Amino acid sequence: MKVTIIGCSGSFPGPDSPSSCYLVEAEGFRLLLDFGNGSLGVLQRHIGLYDVDAICLSHLHADHCLDMCAYHVARTYGPAAPYAKVPVHAPADAPRRLAAAYGMPEEPGLETAFDFVPLAPGPFEVGPFTVVAGQVNHPVEAYGFRVTHGGRSLAYSGDTGESAEVVRLSAGADLMLCESSFLDQPELPTDLHLSGRQAAEHAAKAGVGRLVLTHLVPWNDQQRILDDACRGGYGGPIDLARSGAVYDLA
């Protein structure tokens, strides 16, 4: 399983990265975790425009799903259209919300390009991957994911405050992509986002092999996010996410 960070900028795109989007590949199958604003452009540096086989959306905040609208254009009106519909595992409200974002009626909405499957907590199969979704602590319906293939696992927190479910989803994972939106300080808001320290505490409890701090908000000093994470009691390697970074879990 190969993981490529397409976008790791938190809440809005930054100068060096789009918003959230991660490409997970195995056996020639290409799965996207989130499809935030700006990510469709950078994605084309790594795979062909029509090479996406499935998409999982953690939640429906713009920085995690808005390029679904752009990709709908590519798959509906491209030169060899109609293209095969891409399965999209997303919160149940996704068809209505994305149609509204695009500015089209709910029928047919974006369903000329996508087959929407409502997310619920638990496991499901996507191509060669087993995906487990778990509900995390954010102001809207939001999921974290564990993606497993060939005995290797990737955990992705999505957007979340402190969450026992993130620890459960990540238990023993080879790689954990954990959001680190906040600079660490006393009295952080609950059920919203994590600091680097909190991300590392989750990684330590889960016993993951490597922690990648992501959803990095451009207004923060990212070195401080990394320094905060180094105080979280996690003994394994810690990286700041970077658009274009590749992790080969094979």
Establish if 63 lies at the interface with Zn ion (CB under 5 A): yes
Establish if 162 lies at the interface with Zn ion (CB under 5 A): no
| Euclidean distance between CA atoms 99 and 69, whole angstroms | 8
Nearer to Zn ion, 43 or 113 (CB): 43
Query: Which residues within the stretch 131-160 sit at the binding site for Zn ion (CB under 5 A)?
Result: 159
Beta carbon of residue 108, minimum distance to Zn ion (angstroms, whole number): 27
Pair of tokens at residue 225: 């996010």
* Of the residues 18, 33, 61, 86, which one makes contact with Zn ion according to CB under 5 A: 61
Residue 146 near residue 129 (C-beta atoms within 8 A): no
- Binding segment (CB under 5 A) for Zn ion, from list 42-50, 55-63, 98-106, 110-118: 55-63
| Euclidean distance between CA atoms 159 and 191, whole angstroms | 9
Establish if 67 lies at the interface with Zn ion (CB under 5 A): no
Beta carbon of residue 7, minimum distance to Zn ion (angstroms, whole number): 10
| Euclidean distance between CA atoms 95 and 235, whole angstroms | 42
Beta carbon of residue 119, minimum distance to Zn ion (angstroms, whole number): 15
| Euclidean distance between CA atoms 1 and 156, whole angstroms | 14
| Euclidean distance between CA atoms 41 and 25, whole angstroms | 18
Q: What CA–CA distances, in Å, run from 118 to 57, 144, 207, 237?
A: 10, 14, 30, 35
Q: x/- binding map, residues 71-110, to Zn ion, per CB under 5 A?
A: ----------------------------------------
Nearer to Zn ion, 25 or 63 (CB): 63
